[in-house]
Chain A
């Protein structure tokens, strides 16, 4: 018996000594919330995996922080997202990376606003996500901000000054981007020479494209998803009209439209923060790690979440978050820290103001030989 006690004491002593000498990194508990099942699972899995890559990197590098990633499924449902959020907090999460999609993020963010919990969403782009909430920040542009960013990009890179806009006036996304684009353009020396609308049912774009051609537009701005855009490109090719077509992130995917001649998309530009084929060292590194681990090419959502983890760590460091900081304490500290940090991620160099919207240099990719390239 005595021996046993002695042994136990020795063990305790040994453990105490060990812990006293090793410089333990601070463990941060970050919860990723996104749709891992259901109709939007494609996006949630992408953000989950992107975040995982960043966590692996940070833990392997052995810096100040060690990250424990909690992954919760919200099924892209505004009821289930609250359950996911509560489960994350029960599991000890100090801050939230999520939610991936707009409506669930809006619901969970509002709950987090009441409870004082910090949210950084990688990809929820609607304005309602950050409106009236000081606790929610975005990695991606809001929908309307894409309009302003597009105008800035066009002006800065002197792509042309005569612009035609074709947009879907029955769609929030399309009208939101168009509104800010049209508002911003005149101040940047851009002239809107033609503005044409369509709706979800439109399949013939002869009139809209014809008007743009008659007005002599050098650039046709297409704030829309890729399906109508593919029809517009086809119509323009038939009319032998060759302006610069400029799209936004909804254009991402045009190369995979079934039955679409991808050669028509040659030279099309689109505003996107991330292309997997980029030669940038950081991006290439991320794409390689992602492909090795998951066997697929990352999409923009994954890149946003990857940056999201680095942003949270940067903000946590600035705010002095420790393993004992509660989510409520962390919230106000992180909100203050977010306004002070600048993060150079793979989707650009980012800063934030108190609205929660991100400011970063807009980047546009051009389609060349069937792939996106940055110029």
Chain B
């Protein structure tokens, strides 16, 4: 096993291990009722935000394109999930919440993926800032479209109307009600499904970036011209990363949407895309474990800061700035490394090595 391979294996094991250990601890806390309502209520949103951050990291960190419309895919997933779940319940009287949830998540992922392809075709021909602006516009377009979208269900059929609610036949049960958003959702998301979805995301993303395609994706990021001259189809590989991220975001959206009784278009604004971008940047570009930790940390942080009452959001911003400076400052990094080095040495000694390997990011 080469050094690089071992390093990657350990990194992946740590990533999976951390998620699984966290899950086991939380599950035990829940069954022992040793968990506050506040934390318990945040578990599913945290799962959704982790998936959002990891999938956006695939686009930004690995394929090197700045996408600012990730919340758009999430909203497609959330709306699709709500509609599919509501429709399955009314049309087929499908009472099993788990089956409904799984089907809704799949549908959310597929539809977001289709939109990912449609948007990717024109968008991925652009580079850098242009791509960022176009994805931003896409996110806003999605939000404005769902703002005037009306979907109702009657006798097992779905009815769609655009702009004008009156076009729907009388007596339909509304599932999506324009600016009021998706209404009367039966919340069915569970932490367990969220956990499985995180595992699936990790398997997909970590396998992809460590595969032949993943190396091609990273090659287009590092040097587009060099990659092209080596015969790597830049558009194809960027598309692969973009659509995978869109599907995962759609699935996260369905999980997120079905955790609440209502979803509104204003939840998926440009600000929300930036929010996910903050998770990714704080966790480190191309660092999946970092995305998981930062998404969790930044979702819980505002709730922990509730004690500060009026100054809460101010403290949140200050903490964010401090963390950014701390994690990106060479001096502090060297300091952390120095602290960690005795532990690393110990690991190496036990393994009977003299140098290299075992460097956990």
Complex contact B309–A86 (CB within 8 A)? no
A87, A111, A128: the one contacting B306 at CB < 8 Å is: A87
Complex contact A79–B36 (CB within 8 A)? no
B37, B178, B260, B312: the one contacting A89 at CB < 8 Å is: B37
Known contacts A71-B309, A73-B312, A128-B180; decide if A107 and B38 are in contact (CB<8 Å).
no
Q: What sequence of 0s and 1s flags, for each residue 88-110 of chain A, a beta carbon within 8 Å of any chain B beta carbon?
A: 01100000000000010011001
Closest to B37 in A: A86
| B86, CB-defined interface residue at 8 Å | no
Complex contact A90–B262 (CB within 8 A)? no
The distance in angstroms between the C-alpha atoms of A82 and B183, with both chains bound, is: 16
The distance in angstroms between the C-alpha atoms of A111 and B260, with both chains bound, is: 8
B36, B184, B302, B312: the one contacting A90 at CB < 8 Å is: B36
The distance in angstroms between the C-alpha atoms of A111 and B180, with both chains bound, is: 18
Complex contact B38–A83 (CB within 8 A)? yes
Q: What's the least CB distance linking A104 to chain B, in Å? A: 9
| A37, CB-defined interface residue at 8 Å | yes
Complex contact A132–B41 (CB within 8 A)? no
Q: What's the least CB distance linking A70 to chain B, in Å? A: 10
Please name all residues of chain B whose beta carbon is closer than 8 Å to the beta carbon of A89 when the two chains form the complex. 37
Q: What sequence of 0s and 1s flags, for each residue 32-51 of chain B, a beta carbon within 8 Å of any chain A beta carbon?
A: 00001110111001000000
| A72, CB-defined interface residue at 8 Å | yes
Q: What's the least CB distance linking B170 to chain A, in Å? A: 14
Please name all residues of chain B whose beta carbon is closer than 8 Å to the beta carbon of A231 when the two chains form the complex. none
Complex contact B260–A82 (CB within 8 A)? yes
Please name all residues of chain B whose beta carbon is closer than 8 Å to the beta carbon of A188 when the two chains form the complex. none
B261, B267, B313: the one contacting A77 at CB < 8 Å is: B267
The distance in angstroms between the C-alpha atoms of A87 and B303, with both chains bound, is: 8
Please name all residues of chain B whose beta carbon is closer than 8 Å to the beta carbon of A72 when the two chains form the complex. 306
Please name all residues of chain B whose beta carbon is closer than 8 Å to the beta carbon of A107 when the two chains form the complex. 260-262
Please name all residues of chain A whose beta carbon is closer than 8 Å to the beta carbon of B310 when the two chains form the complex. 36
Q: What's the least CB distance linking A102 to chain B, in Å? A: 9
Please name all residues of chain B whose beta carbon is closer than 8 Å to the beta carbon of A71 when the two chains form the complex. 309
Please name all residues of chain A whose beta carbon is closer than 8 Å to the beta carbon of B267 when the two chains form the complex. 77-79
Q: What's the least CB distance linking B166 to chain A, in Å? A: 9
Complex contact A87–B260 (CB within 8 A)? no
| B205, CB-defined interface residue at 8 Å | no
Q: What's the least CB distance linking A314 to chain B, in Å? A: 28
Closest to A128 in B: B183
Complex contact B261–A111 (CB within 8 A)? yes
The distance in angstroms between the C-alpha atoms of A354 and B49, with both chains bound, is: 39
The distance in angstroms between the C-alpha atoms of A107 and B259, with both chains bound, is: 10
Q: What sequence of 0s and 1s flags, for each residue 28-39 of chain A, a beta carbon within 8 Å of any chain B beta carbon?
A: 000000001100
Complex contact A103–B262 (CB within 8 A)? yes
Known contacts A37-B312, A79-B45, A83-B42; decide if A106 and B37 are in contact (CB<8 Å).
no
Closest to A131 in B: B184
A36, A90, A126: the one contacting B37 at CB < 8 Å is: A90
Q: In this complex, which of B38, B178, B180, B312 has the most chain A Cβ atoms within 10 angstroms of its Cβ?
A: B38
Please name all residues of chain B whose beta carbon is closer than 8 Å to the beta carbon of A85 when the two chains form the complex. 41
The distance in angstroms between the C-alpha atoms of A82 and B185, with both chains bound, is: 15
Q: What's the least CB distance linking A100 to chain B, in Å? A: 16
Please name all residues of chain A whose beta carbon is closer than 8 Å to the beta carbon of B302 when the two chains form the complex. 80
| A323, CB-defined interface residue at 8 Å | no
Please name all residues of chain B whose beta carbon is closer than 8 Å to the beta carbon of A82 when the two chains form the complex. 41, 260
| A237, CB-defined interface residue at 8 Å | no
Main secondary structure of the interface of A (DSSP, over half): helix
The distance in angstroms between the C-alpha atoms of A106 and B181, with both chains bound, is: 12
Known contacts A77-B267, A103-B181, A172-B179; decide if A87 and B38 are in contact (CB<8 Å).
yes
The distance in angstroms between the C-alpha atoms of A105 and B38, with both chains bound, is: 17
Q: What's the least CB distance linking A194 to chain B, in Å? A: 21
| B264, CB-defined interface residue at 8 Å | yes
The distance in angstroms between the C-alpha atoms of A77 and B265, with both chains bound, is: 11
Please name all residues of chain A whose beta carbon is closer than 8 Å to the beta carbon of B295 when the two chains form the complex. none
Q: What's the least CB distance linking B65 to chain A, in Å? A: 27
Closest to B48 in A: A79
The distance in angstroms between the C-alpha atoms of A77 and B271, with both chains bound, is: 13
The distance in angstroms between the C-alpha atoms of A39 and B209, with both chains bound, is: 40
| B263, CB-defined interface residue at 8 Å | yes
The distance in angstroms between the C-alpha atoms of A126 and B180, with both chains bound, is: 10
Q: In this complex, which of A72, A85, A114, A128 has the most chain B Cβ atoms within 10 angstroms of its Cβ?
A: A128
Closest to A87 in B: B38
Q: What sequence of 0s and 1s flags, for each residue 142-180 of chain B, a beta carbon within 8 Å of any chain A beta carbon?
A: 000000000000000000000000000000000000111
Closest to B264 in A: A103
B36, B262, B312: the one contacting A78 at CB < 8 Å is: B262
Q: In this complex, which of B37, B180, B187, B264 has the most chain A Cβ atoms within 10 angstroms of its Cβ?
A: B37
Please name all residues of chain B whose beta carbon is closer than 8 Å to the beta carbon of A172 when the two chains form the complex. 178-180
Please name all residues of chain B whose beta carbon is closer than 8 Å to the beta carbon of A36 when the two chains form the complex. 310
Q: In this complex, which of A36, A79, A89, A107 has the most chain B Cβ atoms within 10 angstroms of its Cβ?
A: A79
Complex contact A106–B36 (CB within 8 A)? no
Please name all residues of chain B whose beta carbon is closer than 8 Å to the beta carbon of A126 when the two chains form the complex. 180
The distance in angstroms between the C-alpha atoms of A128 and B264, with both chains bound, is: 13
B40, B180, B313: the one contacting A86 at CB < 8 Å is: B40
Please name all residues of chain B whose beta carbon is closer than 8 Å to the beta carbon of A79 when the two chains form the complex. 45, 256, 260, 267
The distance in angstroms between the C-alpha atoms of A172 and B200, with both chains bound, is: 41
The distance in angstroms between the C-alpha atoms of A110 and B262, with both chains bound, is: 9
Q: What's the least CB distance linking A173 to chain B, in Å? A: 10
Q: What's the least CB distance linking B163 to chain A, in Å? A: 9
Please name all residues of chain B whose beta carbon is closer than 8 Å to the beta carbon of A114 when the two chains form the complex. 187
The distance in angstroms between the C-alpha atoms of A330 and B179, with both chains bound, is: 34
Please name all residues of chain B whose beta carbon is closer than 8 Å to the beta carbon of A87 when the two chains form the complex. 37-38, 303, 306
The distance in angstroms between the C-alpha atoms of A37 and B308, with both chains bound, is: 13
The distance in angstroms between the C-alpha atoms of A86 and B302, with both chains bound, is: 14
Q: List 29 A-B contacts (CB under 8 A).
A: A37-B312, A71-B309, A73-B306, A77-B267, A78-B260, A78-B263, A79-B256, A79-B260, A83-B42, A85-B41, A86-B36, A86-B40, A86-B41, A87-B38, A87-B303, A87-B306, A103-B180, A103-B181, A103-B264, A106-B183, A107-B261, A110-B261, A110-B262, A111-B187, A111-B261, A114-B187, A126-B180, A128-B184, A132-B184
Residues of chain B having any CB pair with chain A under 8 Å? 36-38, 40-42, 45, 178-181, 183-184, 187, 256, 260-264, 267, 302-303, 306, 309-310, 312-313
Residues of chain A having any CB pair with chain B under 8 Å? 36-37, 71-73, 77-80, 82-83, 85-87, 89-90, 103, 106-107, 110-111, 114, 126, 128, 132, 172
Which 3 A-B pairs give the minimum distances between C-beta atoms? A110-B261, A86-B37, A86-B41
